[in-house]
Chains A and B, each alone.
Chain A
Amino acid sequence: MAEKLEHLDVFIVEGKIDIPNSYSAGAVGSKFLIELRDNKRILGLRCPTCDRVYVPPSSTCKDCFGELSEWVEVSDKGTLLSYTVEHRSNVVQPVSPPIVYGVIQLDGADTGLVHMLGEVDPKHVEIGMRLQAAFKDERTASLLDIKYFKPLA
């Protein structure tokens, strides 16, 4: 039933938009995700012209528009470039808050990877800190096969 706002002569109609979506990772994206699942390795694509490594991989270099096919393995260790802490909950979140989202540059990559931080008190997170990927035991070819990035011991 629509709710009437008497003083405004309007009714408020509650509704939803619920459409099932299925996104293709594509051949390139699939290879990256399958490596996470099967071998706990993180791959990137390298542009030989610009000497840049994209993680996650991009099949086109945004600077020179070259078609990329040189796969390289990057480290599972990296440096925190930036972060934020989310306290409110939202249905789209992968885990319950508080969540520390970080941008991490893995050793060997020229891009930042967005992921979550774990095993660390949000108060002790610092830009520049060294982190390592912690993989799940049961993996499904998803970016969340990496549970989170934890401080490097």
Chain B
Amino acid sequence: MANRVAIVGIGQTHHKSKRPDVSQPEMGNEAVRAALADADMPMRDVEAVVSTNMETFEGVFLPDHWMASQTGAYMKPGFKVNTGGTTGASGVEEAFNLVAAGLFDVVLVLGFEKQDQGDTTAAITTCATPVWGGGFATGAIGEFAKQALTYMENSGAKEEHAAMVRLKADRGACRNPHAHLRLGLNTVEEVLKSGYLVWPIRLLDFCPQSCGACALVLASEQAVKKITKKPVWIADMVTVHQLPFRAGIFGDLTGKDHYSQEIAAEKLYKRNGITNVIRDIDMAEIYEPSNWEEMNLYEHLRFCEKNEGWKMVEKNMTTIEGEFPVNPSGGVIATNPIGATPVIRIAEAALQVRGDAGEHQVTRDVKTALATALGGSNWSVLTLLKRSL
């Protein structure tokens, strides 16, 4: 029978666009030290280290080797995970599996990305070889642009709704000391003034390129008793890898394909007796690389019916004070160090369950939280966290 696994330590860096003051290993080290301090635990108690990162962004092959002394992996079992956009969550799942299987009692997982060291879009473009056609890639952003257009056409959402999502994210980020973009936006008009990057995605519609790291300490039920009184239990994790959509990489333009988020959500909800999502779960930290995508994801994660995502936004249902808060931390659109981002989603959801999110703690009492991760091509990892099992 599998061990129960809880998060007992949470740490992250203050995410920024540039970190010239630290090398890549030193940046990871900051998050590791923060997580150990949060768990009140010395490094020698950590039994294994899982690192998650996407090498091509920094141009450092096998970074976990270079970073071993700074992540605490020296003379310990180390694992490296890279699954694209879901990288961080897959790393947490790896750590979860190691503890659940009874192989280790305490495992540290570190997600990091130092995006000032390379060119993000160029790196993403290398996912496609010229064998399939050269020059076609517009990076992830081109894909999201096409999806945004299709969402507008099918659902009736307007640019104003996307702007409202951006405002909500910024309000949360401004209350989150770790967030990257904390812009102090006040009105929809301010958002609509920002220029287009890849039409119709504006500069403000898309996530930034951040330098940051986030670490979690996971422990078995046995070890939890000696560590903390406030564990956050990982109730379930579901991973679904799909093929690229027939007509899209991150989204399906035809409306006929199944989103892996939807398939993963169905499985997660069924396994955990969740029948009314926004009633049975108290909040969500979802992986939304653009504000358009956030509205689309509300539908695929069954927070609402199809084509109604923008209505949740219009009714302010997903704000910090709302009925079903989504991304009170500011989300991916405020902070995106790619290898760390899914770990940040889980970390932020865990802080909400613990009641430790400070100024961006949601009004609703959080006993159960959902954290999602999304990557190309249509890969998903969903995590369900609970205050008690």
Contacts and interface: CB of A to CB of B under 8 A. Distances in A.
A24 B60 CA distance: 12
B68 A62 contact: yes
A25 interface: yes
Interface residues of A, number: 22
Contacts, number: 68
Given A21-B59, A26-B26, A65-B44, 7 more contacts: A19-B56, A20-B118, A20-B119, A23-B59, A24-B19, A26-B20, A26-B22
B72 A65 contact: yes
Interface string B122-148: 110010011100100000000000000
A39 interface: no
Nearest to B119: A19
Nearest to A27: B21
A112 to B, nearest CB: 15
Nearest to A21: B59
A118 B74 CA distance: 33
Nearest to A25: B23
Interface residues of B, number: 33
Contacts of A17: 126
B70 interface: yes
Contacts of A1: none
A98 interface: no
A69 interface: no
Interface of A: 13, 15, 17, 19-29, 58-63, 65, 67
Among all A-B residue pairs, the 7 with the closest Cβ atoms: A62-B69, A21-B59, A26-B23, A65-B43, A62-B74, A26-B22, A15-B130
A24 B69 contact: no
B118 A19 contact: yes
A19 B122 contact: yes
A24 B123 contact: no
